[in-house]
Structure 1
C-alpha cells in the first residue's frame, strides 16, 4: 500500500481534520504501543499500520 493511499483511507474514515490528529495521538497496541506517526517514522509498512488501525476501530469494509 502506498503512503498516499494510506492517508486517503485515514481521511475518509476519520475526516480531513481528525485523521492527522488521531495518527499523532492515539496509541495502538497492535503497533507495539506506538502511534501511527511513530510507526511510520520507524519504517513500519503502511499496509501493516492500516491493518492495525482497522483492528483498533470499526473501519467501513469498503476501506479495508
Structure 2
C-alpha cells in the first residue's frame, strides 16, 4: 500500500474525522504512535491501516484492497 492509497482509504472509511484519526489516535500496535507518526517513522502504510482498522473495529470486508483507484478505462 502506498501512502496515497493509505490516505484515500482513511478518507473513504472515516470521512470528516479522517484527519483526527490519523493525527490524534495513538496505536499501540505500531509502537505507541499516531498513524501519521508511524508512517513518518517508516512503518509500512498497510500495517498502519490494519492497526487503525483493528483499533476502530472496521469490518474485515472493508480492510483489504481499499485505497486503490479503479483501473482506467480506454
Using the size of structure 2 for normalisation, the TM-score is 0.75
Structure (1/2) with the larger strand percentage = 2
Distance in 2 (CA, whole Å) between partners of 1:59 and 1:12 is 12
How many residue pairs get matched? 63
Distance in 2 (CA, whole Å) between partners of 1:13 and 1:50 is 11
Gaps of 5+ in 2: 64-74
Moved over 2 A (4+): 60-63
Structural mapping, 1:1-64, within 5 Å: 1-15=1-15, 17-64=16-63
Q: If you compute each CA radius of gyration, which structure gives the higher value, 1 or 2?
A: 2
Q: Specify which structure has the bigger relative contact order, considering alpha-carbon pairs within 8 angstroms and separated by 6 or more residues.
A: 2
What is the aligned-residue RMSD (CA, Å)? 1.2
